[in-house]
C-alpha cells in the first residue's frame, strides 16, 4: 500500500468513526420510544398507507423545506411507527430530531411555568430541525395547553419541520385549542406546506383472524405500531 493510499484510508476511517459517533448522539437525543424503521413497516397489512408518499417523505426533503407531516387514523394502524421511522431517516440525514408525546410535552411546559423556566423549556421544542409530537388529542387540552401548542406551531412555522400524529381527524383538531381564533391561526400554519397521511384499516396489535397468520415481519410491526 502506498503512503497516499494509507493516509486516504486512515482519514476515511476517522471520518466514518466521527460520523457514526455523531449519529449515535442524534439518535439518543431524539428520544425515540423504539428503533422503528421504514424497512420494518409492513405496508401490505393496511393498503390505505400511501407507500409511495411515505417513501418520498423518507428522503427527508420535507425537513429541509420546513414542511409539516400530519398522520391521522385510528389506534394501531402504525402512525407512531411511521413518524419515528421518518425521524430515524432524518437523524441519518444529519438533522436534529426530537420525539415526544403531546401529553409529555404539554406537561413539561406547564411545569416550567412554575419555576420560571418556560422560555428555556420552549426552546427544547422549537429548535430541532424535526419535532415529532405523538398522540395529539388523546385528551382535551386544559389551562394554557392550547396556547402552548399554538406557540410551538407559531415559532416553528417555516423555520423547521413538524410531524404530528393523532387518532382524531383534522376537522376535530380546532376544538382542542379551546378558542376559535387560536385554533384558526394554528391550523392555518400547520396545513400550509403540509403532507397529510390519512390511514384507515385494522390494528396491528389486534389484527382480525385472517391476518394473524402473517409473516414474522408483520408481527414485528404489530409491536412497533401505535
H/E element holding 134? strand 130-134
Q: Convert the pLDDT of each residue in 4-54 to its tens digit.
A: 776 667 667 766 777 678 889 999 999 999 989 999 999 988 888 999 999
Given a contact cutoff of 8 angstroms between Cβ atoms, the answer to whether 205 and 225 are in contact is: yes
Q: How far apart are CA 71 and CA 69, in angstroms?
A: 6
Q: Please give the helix or strand (H or E) that residue 20 lies within, else none.
A: helix 3-30
In the three-class reduction of DSSP (H, G, I as helix; E, B as strand; rest coil), residue 165 is classed as: strand
Print pLDDT tens along the chain (226 aa): 777 776 667 667 766 777 678 889 999 999 999 989 999 999 988 888 999 999 999 999 999 999 999 999 999 899 999 999 999 999 999 999 999 999 999 999 999 998 999 999 999 999 999 999 999 999 889 999 999 999 999 999 999 999 999 999 999 999 999 999 999 999 999 999 999 999 998 888 877 776 665 544 444 444 444 4
Contact of 141 with 178, CB cutoff 8 Å:
yes
Residue of 184, 226, 191, 166 whose CA lies nearest to 67: 191
Domains of the chain as residue ranges with CATH? 50-202 (3.40.50.300)
How many residues appear in the chain?
226
Convert 65-130 into a string of H (helix), E (strand) and C (coil): CCCEEEEECCCCCCHHHHHHHHHHHHHHCCCCEEEEEHHHHHHHHHHHHHCCCHHHHHHHHHCCCE
Q: Are strands 68-72 and 194-198 parallel, antiparallel or unpaired?
A: parallel
- Is the Cα dihedral 128, 121, 72, 27 positive or negative? positive
Report angle CA 82, 86, 160 to the nearest 5 degrees: 125
102: cell is 403531546
32-65 CB burial, b ≥16 within 10 A, e <16:
beeebbbebbbeebbeebeeeebeebbebebbee
Amino acid at each position: 500500500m502506498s503512503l497516499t493510499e494509507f493516509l486516504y484510508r486512515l482519514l476515511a476511517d476517522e471520518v466514518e468513526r466521527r460520523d457514526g459517533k455523531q449519529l449515535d448522539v442524534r439518535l439518543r437525543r431524539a428520544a425515540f420510544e423504539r428503533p422503528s424503521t421504514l424497512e420494518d413497516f409492513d405496508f401490505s397489512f393496511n393498503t390505505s398507507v400511501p407507500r409511495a408518499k411515505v417513501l418520498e417523505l423518507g428522503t427527508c426533503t420535507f425537513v429541509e423545506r420546513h414542511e409539516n407531516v400530519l398522520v391521522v387514523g385510528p389506534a394501531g394502524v402504525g402512525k407512531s411507527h411511521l413518524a419515528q421511522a421518518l425521524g430515524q431517516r432524518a437523524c441519518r440525514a444529519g438533522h436534529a430530531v426530537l420525539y415526544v408525546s403531546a401529553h409529555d410535552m404539554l406537561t413539561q411546559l406547564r411545569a416550567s411555568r412554575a419555576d420560571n423556566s418556560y422560555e428555556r423549556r420552549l426552546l427544547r421544542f422549537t429548535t430541532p430541525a424535526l419535532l415529532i409530537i405523538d398522540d395529539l388529542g388523546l385528551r382535551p387540552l386544559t389551562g394554557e395547553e392550547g396556547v402552548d401548542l399554538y406557540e410551538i406551531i407559531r415559532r416553528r412555522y417555516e423555520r423547521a419541520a413538524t410531524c404530528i400524529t393523532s387518532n382524531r381527524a383534522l376537522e376535530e383538531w380546532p376544538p382542542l385549542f379551546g378558542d376559535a381564533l387560536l385554533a384558526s391561526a394554528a391550523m392555518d400554519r400547520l396545513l400550509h406546506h403540509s403532507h397529510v397521511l390519512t390511514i384507515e384499516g385494522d390494528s396491528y396489535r389486534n389484527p382480525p383472524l385472517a391476518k394473524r397468520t402473517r409473516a414474522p415481519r408483520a408481527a414485528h410491526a404489530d409491536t412497533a405500531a401505535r
